[in-house]
């Protein structure tokens, strides 16, 4: 791995990705900060905010990869980051000009729409920079740096916004993305030039890509009918997305506004969750083989449902820290088990399409679950919403257990 770091072009990509990930996490912290300014005591605003980073994936994911394949990857990364830099500089000015924090929703929707191009170009560029036999190590290094940047972006970012304010926070964030773009532009590599997209060919490309994507989606549902194991995993992914929706809406509201820990408090708890997730992934690595991975998923969903159900009686920082750590471990174990089952059960020729459409289904599920959760919490109370959702998750977990017998 140290030898890989001596490859200048790979190191530039790694540093660009690290600055980009730090900036993305800081963007999320700025969004959370401004939500508290927009509507104090409202959970539904967090649900609405989630549309800024889920809708872009639903809109562009079928087409983004096909477009990036026809453009030079490093230039795609540079222009994506440069546009994000301009957008982040303009956002505080637009908020002041229109005298409304609602500008943030439109601004960050565009930000995450552009971000999809960068996130597609980066992994496509990596194989050009290292040897084929070094790809696994290169990806491992890449993920390690990204995880570190994620924790720093959430924890340090939370305190940074508290110290300098959200206006300066936007300016600092803008320059992290400019730095990421300039580092990407310095990468030197050989790539076969593709024919420039004309108006007619672009329209044909988009139509054909849409047809392929929806055919893949249709094939996924047919495959679910044929394979009960795949159906089980994809349903469990819907449940874990529901858990993520509860965390993003109710739990962030709880930490930021009920416990009055602010954005820095959210950053600390995100760091605790990330540590738990890293530890959870490592724990599974000690086992040579786990015979029934379905039980891991079911037990994990039941535990998280139980935490939501009993958590309303223990809304105190020490208990929340404990819950955050255990939830991170549990969530990571569930995710690893889900991916492993799909890799084991799905035939090689359809596997890539299953994983690609899974991402689309996950983001669609996030939107479908986060909005009702926010409305339920505001119409009743966040405590009652947690009880109802906790009971639902535990009941579904027990039902799944009875089916798997």
pLDDT in tens, 79-124: 999 999 999 999 999 988 988 888 888 999 999 999 988 888 888 8
The pLDDT assigned to 168 comes to 94
- CA nearest neighbour of 22 among 169, 146, 112, 107: 146
On the CB side of 158, CA atoms within 13 Å amount to 20
The pLDDT assigned to 200 comes to 55
Q: What is the DSSP string of 325-345?
A: HHHHHHHHHHHHHHHHHHHHH
Query: Cα dihedral sign for 326, 332, 337, 338?
Result: positive
Distance, CA of 310 to CA of 237 (rounded, Å): 23
Cα 387 → chain centroid: 26
The pLDDT assigned to 395 comes to 96
The pLDDT assigned to 191 comes to 67
Q: Which fold has domain 7-188?
A: Growth Hormone; Chain: A; (1.20.1250)
The pLDDT assigned to 58 comes to 80
pTM, full prediction: 0.77
The pLDDT assigned to 340 comes to 78
The pLDDT assigned to 51 comes to 85
On the CB side of 123, CA atoms within 13 Å amount to 10
The pLDDT assigned to 288 comes to 61
Distance, CA of 283 to CA of 287 (rounded, Å): 8
CATH number, domain 227-405: 1.20.1250.20
Distance, CA of 40 to CA of 45 (rounded, Å): 9
| Residues with pLDDT less than 70, the chain | 136, 191-202, 284-291, 348-357
What Å distances lie between residue 73 and 58, 145, 236, CA to CA? Answer: 22, 20, 35
Distance, CA of 252 to CA of 242 (rounded, Å): 15
Name residue, tokens 């924090």.
Answer: 101
Domain boundaries, the chain: 7-188, 227-405
Please tell me if the domain spanning 7-188 has the same topology as the one spanning 227-405. Answer: yes
């Amino acid at each position: 791995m140290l030898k890989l770091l001596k490859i200048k072009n790979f190191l530039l990509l790694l540093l660009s990705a690290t600055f980009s990930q730090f900036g993305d996490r800081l963007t999320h912290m700025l969004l959370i900060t401004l939500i508290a300014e927009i509507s104090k005591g409202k959970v539904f605003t967090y649900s609405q905010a989630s549309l800024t980073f889920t809708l872009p994936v639903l809109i562009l994911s079928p087409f983004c990869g096909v477009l990036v394949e026809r453009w030079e990857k490093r230039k795609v990364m540079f222009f994506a980051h440069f546009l994000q830099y301009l957008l982040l500089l303009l956002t505080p000015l637009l908020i002041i000009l229109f005298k409304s924090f609602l500008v943030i929703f439109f601004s960050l929707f565009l930000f995450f729409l552009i971000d999809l191009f960068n996130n597609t170009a980066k992994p496509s560029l990596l194989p050009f920079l290292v040897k084929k036999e070094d790809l696994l190590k290169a990806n491992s290094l890449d993920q390690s740096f990204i995880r570190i940047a994620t924790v720093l972006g959430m924890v340090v970012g939370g305190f940074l916004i508290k110290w300098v304010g959200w206006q300066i926070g936007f300016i600092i964030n803008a320059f992290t993305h400019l730095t990421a773009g300039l580092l990407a532009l310095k990468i030197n590599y050989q790539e076969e030039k593709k024919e420039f997209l004309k108006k007619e060919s672009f329209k044909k490309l988009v139509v054909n890509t849409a047809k392929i994507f929806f055919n893949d989606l249709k094939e996924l549902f047919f495959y679910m009918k044929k394979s009960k194991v795949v159906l089980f995993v994809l349903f469990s992914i819907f449940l874990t997305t529901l858990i993520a929706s509860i965390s993003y809406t109710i739990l962030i509201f709880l930490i930021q506004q009920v416990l009055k820990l602010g954005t820095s408090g959210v950053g600390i708890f995100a760091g605790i969750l990330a540590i738990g997730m890293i530890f959870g992934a490592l724990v599974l690595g000690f086992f040579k083989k786990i015979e029934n991975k379905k039980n891991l998923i079911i037990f994990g969903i039941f535990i998280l449902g139980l935490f939501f159900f009993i958590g309303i009686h223990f809304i105190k920082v020490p208990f929340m820290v404990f819950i955050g750590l255990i939830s991170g471990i549990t969530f990571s174990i569930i995710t690893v088990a889900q991916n492993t089952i799909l890799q084991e059960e799905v035939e090689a020729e359809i596997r890539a399409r299953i994983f690609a459409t899974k991402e689309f289904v996950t983001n669609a599920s996030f939107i479908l679950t986060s909005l009702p959760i926010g409305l339920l919490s505001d119409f009743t109370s966040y405590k009652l919403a947690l009880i109802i959702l906790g009971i639902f998750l535990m009941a579904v977990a027990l039902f799944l257990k009875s089916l798997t017998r």
